[in-house]
Amino acid sequence: MNRILVYLVPFAVALSAQETKSRYAQGEEHFFAGRIRESLVEWDAQVKEQPASLAGHWQRGLALYYAGRYHDGRAQFEVHQKVNREDVENAAWHFLCVAKSESIAVARKLFIPITHDTRVPMKEIHALYAGQGRTEDVLQAAEAKAGISTAALNRQRCYAQLYLGLYHEALGDAFQARVHLLKAAALAPAANYMGQVAVVHCQVRGWRE
């Protein structure tokens, strides 16, 4: 019996890892198809089966936002901050969840400070969400062309439009949110995760050109 267990335990560990990977992949497939509830069925099960995966699972936080589970989304981005301390995007999504569940004022009060995210235009996005910047600053920063490819420039533009749209949605300005997020979706690189989030956002909201 002990000899059998020696062989079975590694097999069980490998099987568990394979099942978790499958749950993540299935959740991702559902998410990008706009099936938010179904994505969370898989991802909630994933973190229940492997609690250690929770901190890194920012993708689950996005799904929680679209599912309207804003308190859970806030908690997800707070735990992710422990393993990814200098990411403006994590701070932004935390802001969005708090703004939806509490208010813009509370979201700004609890806004996560980030100082070392050097991606363009993350500095300007952070300032905007903090109430210290302008839409124009984000758009201008996204047009920085020095030494980058056209693809990289369009990625900057996509991120600018995505986070401007999300910000306006938090403010309750559906018109501006729609304008910016449709632009983000149009710019979205096929292989870029956050670009495809813009596509999902428009799909979930029922927005079309």
CATH number assigned to the domain comprising residue 68: 1.25.40.10
Residue 12 in domain = no
Residue 185 in domain = yes
Task: Using the predicted structure, report yes or no on whether residue 88 has a pLDDT greater than 80.
Answer: yes
Q: What is the pLDDT of residue 191?
A: 83
Residue 176 in domain = yes
Tell me if 74 sits within 8 A of 101, measured CB to CB.
yes
Domain around 57: 20-114
Task: Using the predicted structure, report yes or no on whether residue 8 has a pLDDT greater than 80.
Answer: no
Per-residue pLDDT of 20-32, as tens digits, reads 679 999 999 999 9
Residue 7 in domain = no
Q: Structural domain tally of the chain?
A: 2
> What's the CA gap between 127 and 118, in Å, rounded?
13
Select from 65, 95, 114 the last residue of a domain: 114
Regarding whether 104 and 33 lie in a shared domain, the answer is yes
Q: What is the pLDDT of residue 36?
A: 98
Q: What is the pLDDT of residue 15?
A: 41
Regarding whether 187 and 163 lie in a shared domain, the answer is yes
Select from 93, 114, 135 the last residue of a domain: 114
Express as a percent the part of the chain with pLDDT over 90: 88
Q: What is the pLDDT of residue 19?
A: 65
Regarding whether 132 and 59 lie in a shared domain, the answer is no
Count the neighbouring beta carbons within 10 Å of the beta carbon of residue 108. 15
Residue 98 in domain = yes
Residue tagged 């568990």 (tokens): 16
Tell me if 45 sits within 8 A of 57, measured CB to CB.
no
Task: Using the predicted structure, report yes or no on whether residue 189 has a pLDDT greater than 70.
Answer: yes
Q: How confident is the model at residue 17 (pLDDT cuts 50, 70, 90)?
A: low
Residue 13 in domain = no
Range 168-192 average pLDDT: 96
Q: What are phi and psi of 86, to 5 degrees?
A: -125, 55
Regarding whether 127 and 106 lie in a shared domain, the answer is no
